[in-house]
Every structure is written in structure tokens, then in C-alpha cells.
């Protein structure tokens, strides 16, 4: 009996030793980076459970390293893209600088030319105004000349009439002289007949005759003079009429010129205004050229920043490649252990496949070519998995939503393929990715997280940050957080409690809107807390106040940027955020805040 027990025990010991040695061998291989082969469960139940757990862990590692390997390759492509973009930016900066310089030179010359034209137009406008005034004065004088000419015409007309009357009178006088001459002739004849008695009468008659002759001669001379006056008067009237007509024409012409001069003055004024506006525009162009020139110089700083990024990415890729070079994985590992690993691990495997699907899309965008990925949601890993998956009733709403979003994810890439096939730019493709594909993928991650939480709950476990953890608070308040200023410590403790509440809600699978409310409350209270600290800085003149405030500003900006990404659907409230909050609280409180806490305690603040 004892021998049988001994032999039986020896047999089981040998079996157990063999199984443990196989497990140890697999673990030693894993420690050297080899995840190429799983151990099918066999032997005692405890050994089977251990092998299942080990293979599940290996499956997690295989999925993780497969994804990391792909992401490292994409980082390498991104590095090359950054390098080419950096060179393009440098060339573009040089071209922009040359263009800006040409614009600046041309704008300067144009400004000077326009200012010269503007000055000339101002002089021309002044001259045109003076001409218009002179022409207006001339028109006024011609009006006066016209009036004087008309008055002269009337005067000459009256003179003509008077000369005609004089002619009539002279005619009468002439007739009288002729009659007197006849009478004197008769008297002479009669005196001759009278002889001596008529001699005295004859003398008188001769004198009368002589007077009549002289009168006739004078009247003839006067008649000639009157006729001459009449002729000259008529000529003067004609001349005055001609002058009057000319004056009228000159007046009309002066008025026409005055109107034209006025229009010319208005036109010159409009041209001057337009030239002035053109001058302002050219000055603006010159100013813009100066700004563009300054920006082109800033491109050089951007080039240096890109060089820093490229160097950083290059180091990450190099180090990642070095780490991954020691890892050997079996791409068929999951299919070999699919029938006995836990459901949650199968779900994670599908999640990794979709992460790699998205990474391949990003890789194609970087290369500027249509992504060669699965567009049929029923043919990918998740589609095949869901085909035979029978979820618990509590999980069905998650799966129903996941199916719809999963369908949208795969079909959305078809539009992206069309964009890149049609020759659209990479920036248009990445914009489409950020606005259409990334929000859908983020929702899928959120649904996967809820799905995994529900599955692990059913298994009696609690899911942590992609691995199983004990059920405890995310952060525990302790002496390491105490600053020594009561109001600050109380607010720090409340911040920790709010972070813990957000973490617990994330772990329990609360909906996205509820998580967003908790996050926004945390952001608001953080701003209130920073204001409290900064008031203390100012009140007690903390010497490192400016440095501390800048730290606050950077943190607020980072959190607000994340909030915008959450609002737009580009980011999810995830364990990455929780880890960031934890790191901030630990470093900021335990290092930065404790410095000013010591300062305030020295000032008697507690």
C-alpha cells in the first residue's frame, strides 16, 4: 500500500514537474522576448488554469507588441514625412521671403509714385480751381461788356437819329439859302434897273447873296459831315452789333469753359480721392509685406522646431526598434489559443485588430495613398466575432450600438479612399480623418471599454487600466500631500476626491455625458483652486509667484484643449487622462505647492 502511494505520488510529481518545467520554459522564453508558442491546457486543473492565465497574458503581450510594432513603423513614416515637410517649409519660407521682399520693394515704389501723382493732382486741382475762378470772373466781365455794348449801341442809334434830324434841318437851311440867293439875285437885278438909286441896295443884295452862297456852301459842308457821321454811325452800330454778338459768344464760351472747369475740378477731386485711397492701399500692402517678411523669418524658427520634433521622433523610433528587435511573436498565436482563453481576452484581441486597422489608415494618409484596409464590417475580426457572439442581456445595448458604429467606421474609410484616389491633398485627408473617422473610433473605444467592464464584472473581476487591479481608490490622501496651509490642503483633498469619483465612474461604465459633467466640474474647481493659491501669492508676495502662475496657465491650457477635443468627439475620457491627472496631482502638490507652503508657514499662515 505504501509502495503504491509512493509510486502514485512519484508519478504525479513527475507529471507536475514536467508541466511546471514546460511552463517555466515558456516563461523563460518570454523573458527573452519570445512569444511564439502557447501551451495548451493539460494536466491537473490547477495547471490548466495556470496555462490558460499564462497564454491569456501572452495573448495580451502579442497583441500589444503587434500594435506597438505597427505604430513604431508609422512613427518612422511620420519622421520621414516631417523631414520632407521641414525641407518644404524651408523652401517655402525662402520663396515667401523673396516674394515679400519684392512686394515690399514694389509697394514702396508704388507708394512713392502715387504720392508724387497725388501731389501733382493737388497742384492741378488748385490750378483748375483758379482757372475756374478766372473764367467765372471773365464771364462776369463779358456780361458787363455786353451790357456796355448794348448801351453804346443805343447811344449811337440815338446819335444816328439826331444826325438824321440835323440833315433835315440843314436841308431846310439849304433851301432857305437858295431862296435867299434867288431873292438876292432878283434884288441885284432890280438895283441895276434903279441905277444910282439902287446902288446901296445892290451892295446889300450882293452881301446877302454872298451870305447865301456861304450859307449854302456851309450847309453843303455840314451835309457832307452829317452824311459822314451817319455813315460812321451806321458802321459803329454794325461794329457794336458785331461786338455784342462776339461778347455774347465769348460769354457763352466762358460759361461753357466755366462749367467744364467745374466738372474738371470735380473729376480731379474724385481722382485725387481715388489716388489717396490707392496710396493708403499701397501703404497697407507694404505693411502686409513687412508682416509677411517677418513671418517668413519665423518659418526658420518653425523649421528648427520641426527638426527638434524629428530628432525626438527619430530617437523614439530608434529606441522602439531596438526594443522590438528583441521581441519575437507568432502572428497566429491568437488563433491557436482562441478556443480556451477568456472572453475578455478575445475582445481585447479584436480591439487590437481595430487599433491596427486605424494605424494602417493613418499610415496610408502619411504616404498620400488610399488605405488598403477592410471596408466590409462583416469580414473584419469584430464582424466575425459578433456573428456567433451571444451576449448577456445587460450587454446587448452596448453590442447593438457597437454594430452600428462599427459599420460606420468601416464604410467611412471608403470616402477617404475616394479622396486620395482623386488626388486630394494629405491635409484634406487628415482633416477628414479627424472629423469623421477619429470620433467614430473614439466611440468604439468607449463601447469596447464598457463591454470589457461588463464582461469582467460577470467574471467577478474589476477592470483597471487594461489589466486587472484590486478594488481600491485611484488616489489615497496621505501625509505626502500635506502642504501645511489649511485652506490649500482642504482644496487639494477635494481635488483628489473629485479625481477618484471620475475614476470610479469610468470604471463602472457610466455614460459619456455623466463623465463629461464630472470632468467639467473638476476643471471649474481647479480654476477656483488656482485662484485661491494666486491670491495668497499676491497677498504675501511669494517670490516665485510668476513661475508658479505660468505653471497654472500651462496646465489650464492643456486641460481646456483636452476639453475641446472631448466636446468635438476627437478624444475620450480614458485612463490616459486619469494617469495624467494623477501625475499632475502628485508632482504639483508634492513638489511645486510644498515650496510655497513652506514660504507661507514662515509668514505665519497655517
Helix (H, G, I), strand (E, B) or coil at 378: coil
Query: Which residue among 465, 488, 511 closes a domain?
Result: 465
Q: What is the pLDDT of residue 322?
A: 75
Same domain, 25 and 115: no
Same domain, 246 and 368: no
Query: Which residue among 414, 434, 465 closes a domain?
Result: 465
Is 588 a domain residue?
A: yes
Q: Is 329:62 a contact under the CB 8 Å cutoff?
A: yes
Query: Which residue among 308, 334, 351 closes a domain?
Result: 308
CA angle 443–445–449, rounded 5-degree value: 115
Q: Is 475:496 a contact under the CB 8 Å cutoff?
A: yes
Q: What is the pLDDT of residue 463?
A: 38
Is 119 a domain residue?
A: yes
Q: Is 168:301 a contact under the CB 8 Å cutoff?
A: no
Give 328's strand partners.
Answer: 34
Is 103 a domain residue?
A: yes
Segments in 388-511 forming alpha helices (H): 396-421, 426-432, 438-458, 486-507
Regions of the chain where pLDDT drops below 50: 461-471
Same domain, 490 and 589: yes
Q: Could you write out the DSSP letters of every residue in 320-348? A: HHHHHHT-EE-TTHHHHHTTTS-HHHHHH
Containing H/E element for 184?
helix 45-194
User: Distance between CA 529 and CA 593 in Å, rounded?
Assistant: 12
Same domain, 257 and 146: yes
**Which CATH number do you get for residue 274?**
1.10.287.950
Locate 589 and state its grid cell. Answer: 502638490
Same domain, 458 and 488: no
Locate 134 and state its grid cell. Answer: 478766372
**Which CATH number do you get for residue 406?**
1.20.120.30
Cβ atoms < 10 Å from Cβ of 227: 13
C-alpha neighbours within 13 Å on the C-beta side of residue 57:
13
Same domain, 371 and 495: no
Is 334 a domain residue?
A: no
Q: Is 419:432 a contact under the CB 8 Å cutoff?
A: yes
596-603 contact pairs (CB < 8 A, 24+): 596/483, 596/533, 596/536, 596/537, 596/542, 596/544, 596/548, 597/483, 597/484, 597/485, 597/488, 598/484, 599/540, 599/542, 599/543, 600/484, 600/485, 600/536, 600/540, 600/542, 601/484, 601/485, 603/540
Longest Cα–Cα distance in the chain: 234
Locate 250 and state its grid cell. Answer: 465769348
For residue 300, CA distances in Å to 62, 80, 286, 295, 315 come to 43, 19, 22, 9, 23
Is 65 a domain residue?
A: no
Domain interval for residue 509: 479-602
Same domain, 293 and 348: no
Is 66 a domain residue?
A: no
User: Distance between CA 454 and CA 341 in Å, rounded?
Assistant: 17
Give exposure, 318-348, as e/b (b: 16+ Cβ within 10 Å). Answer: eebeeebeebebeeebbeebeeebbbbbbbb
User: Distance between CA 580 and CA 78 in Å, rounded?
Assistant: 25
User: Distance between CA 29 and CA 19 in Å, rounded?
Assistant: 15
**Burial of 148 (C-beta count, 10 Å sphere; 0-12/13-18/19+):** middle
For residue 284, CA distances in Å to 102, 106, 154, 277, 281 come to 15, 12, 68, 10, 5
**Which CATH number do you get for residue 502?**
1.20.120.50
pTM above 0.85, yes or no: no
Same domain, 274 and 378: no
User: Distance between CA 205 and CA 341 in Å, rounded?
Assistant: 180
Helices (H) and strands (E) in the chain, counts: 14, 2
Among residues 474, 471, 453, which one has the least CA distance to residue 463? 453
Q: What is the pLDDT of residue 203?
A: 66
Number of domains in the chain: 4
Is 473 a domain residue?
A: no
Same domain, 251 and 392: no
Q: Could you write out the DSSP letters of every residue in 66-87? A: HHHHHHHHHHHHHHHHHHHHHH
CA angle 420–425–430, rounded 5-degree value: 80
Do you know the residue count of the chain?
606
Same domain, 597 and 458: no
User: Torsion over CA of 228, 234, 237 and 241, rounded to 10 degrees?
Assistant: -140
Same domain, 176 and 297: yes
Q: Is 167:225 a contact under the CB 8 Å cutoff?
A: no
Same domain, 271 and 361: no
Amino acid at each position: 500500500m505504501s509502495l503504491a502511494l509512493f509510486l502514485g505520488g512519484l508519478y504525479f510529481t513527475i507529471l507536475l514537474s514536467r508541466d511546471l518545467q514546460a511552463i517555466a520554459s515558456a516563461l523563460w522564453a518570454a523573458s527573452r522576448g519570445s512569444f511564439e508558442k502557447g501551451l495548451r491546457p493539460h494536466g491537473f486543473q490547477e495547471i490548466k488554469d495556470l496555462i490558460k492565465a499564462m497564454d491569456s497574458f501572452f495573448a495580451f503581450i502579442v497583441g500589444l507588441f503587434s500594435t506597438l510594432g505597427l505604430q513604431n513603423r508609422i512613427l518612422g513614416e511620420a519622421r520621414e514625412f516631417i523631414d520632407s515637410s521641414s525641407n518644404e517649409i524651408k523652401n517655402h519660407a525662402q520663396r515667401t521671403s523673396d516674394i515679400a521682399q519684392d512686394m515690399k520693394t514694389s509697394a514702396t515704389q508704388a507708394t512713392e509714385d502715387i504720392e508724387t501723382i497725388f501731389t501733382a493732382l493737388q497742384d492741378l486741382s488748385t490750378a483748375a480751381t483758379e482757372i475756374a475762378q478766372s473764367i467765372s470772373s471773365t464771364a462776369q466781365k463779358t456780361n458787363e461788356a455786353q451790357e456796355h455794348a448794348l448801351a453804346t449801341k443805343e447811344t449811337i442809334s440815338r446819335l444816328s437819329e439826331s444826325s438824321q434830324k440835323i440833315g433835315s434841318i440843314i436841308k431846310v437851311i439849304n433851301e432857305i439859302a437858295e431862296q435867299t440867293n434867288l431873292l438876292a439875285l432878283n434884288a441885284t437885278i432890280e438895283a441895276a434897273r434903279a441905277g444910282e438909286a439902287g446902288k446901296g441896295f445892290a451892295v446889300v443884295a450882293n452881301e446877302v447873296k454872298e451870305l447865301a452862297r456861304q450859307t449854302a456852301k456851309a450847309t453843303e459842308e455840314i451835309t457832307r459831315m452829317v452824311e459822314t457821321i451817319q455813315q460812321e454811325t451806321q458802321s459803329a452800330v454794325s461794329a457794336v452789333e458785331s461786338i455784342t454778338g462776339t461778347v455774347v459768344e465769348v460769354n457763352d464760351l466762358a460759361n461753357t469753359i466755366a462749367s467744364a472747369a467745374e466738372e474738371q475740378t470735380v473729376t480731379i477731386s474724385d481722382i485725387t480721392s481715388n489716388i489717396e485711397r490707392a496710396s493708403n492701399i499701397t501703404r497697407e500692402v507694404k505693411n502686409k509685406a513687412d508682416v509677411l517678411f517677418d513671418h517668413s523669418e519665423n518659418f526658420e524658427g518653425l523649421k528648427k522646431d520641426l527638426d527638434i520634433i524629428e530628432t525626438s521622433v527619430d530617437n523614439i523610433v530608434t529606441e522602439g526598434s531596438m526594443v522590438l528587435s528583441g521581441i519575437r511573436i507568432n502572428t497566429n498565436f491568437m488563433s491557436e489559443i482562441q478556443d480556451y482563453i477568456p472572453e475578455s481576452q478575445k475582445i481585447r484581441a479584436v480591439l487590437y485588430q481595430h487599433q491596427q486597422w486605424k494605424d494602417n489608415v493613418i499610415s496610408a494618409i502619411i504616404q498620400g495613398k488610399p488605405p488598403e484596409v477592410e471596408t466590409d464590417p462583416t469580414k473584419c475580426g469584430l464582424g466575425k466575432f459578433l456573428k456567433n457572439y451571444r451576449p448577456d442581456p445587460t450587454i446587448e445595448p452596448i453590442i447593438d450600438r457597437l454594430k452600428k458604429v462599427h459599420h460606420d467606421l468601416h464604410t467611412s474609410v471608403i470616402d477617404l479612399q475616394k479622396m486620395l484616389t482623386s488626388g486630394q491633398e494629405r491635409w484634406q485627408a487628415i482633416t477628414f480623418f479627424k472629423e469623421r473617422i477619429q470620433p467614430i473610433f473614439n466611440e468604439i473605444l468607449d463601447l469596447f471599454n464598457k463591454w470589457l467592464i461588463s464582461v469582467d464584472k460577470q467574471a467577478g473581476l474589476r477592470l483597471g487600466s487594461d489589466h486587472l487591479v484590486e478594488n481600491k481608490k485611484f488616489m489615497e490622501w496621505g501625509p505626502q500631500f500635506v502642504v501645511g496651509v489649511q485652506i490649500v490642503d482642504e482644496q487639494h483633498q477635494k481635488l483628489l476626491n473629485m479625481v477618484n469619483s471620475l475614476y470610479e465612474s469610468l470604471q463602472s461604465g457610466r455614460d459619456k455625458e455623466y463623465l463629461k459633467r464630472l470632468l467639467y466640474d473638476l476643471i471649474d474647481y481647479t480654476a477656483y483652486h488656482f485662484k485661491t493659491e494666486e491670491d495668497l501669492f499676491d497677498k504675501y508676495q511669494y517670490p516665485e509667484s510668476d513661475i508658479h502662475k505660468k505653471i497654472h496657465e500651462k496646465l489650464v491650457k492643456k486641460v481646456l484643449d483636452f476639453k475641446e477635443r472631448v466636446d468635438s468627439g476627437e478624444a475620450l475620457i480614458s485612463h490616459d487622462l486619469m494617469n495624467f491627472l494623477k501625475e499632475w496631482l502628485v508632482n504639483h502638490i508634492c513638489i511645486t505647492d510644498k515650496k510655497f507652503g513652506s514660504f507661507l508657514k514662515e509668514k505665519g499662515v497655517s
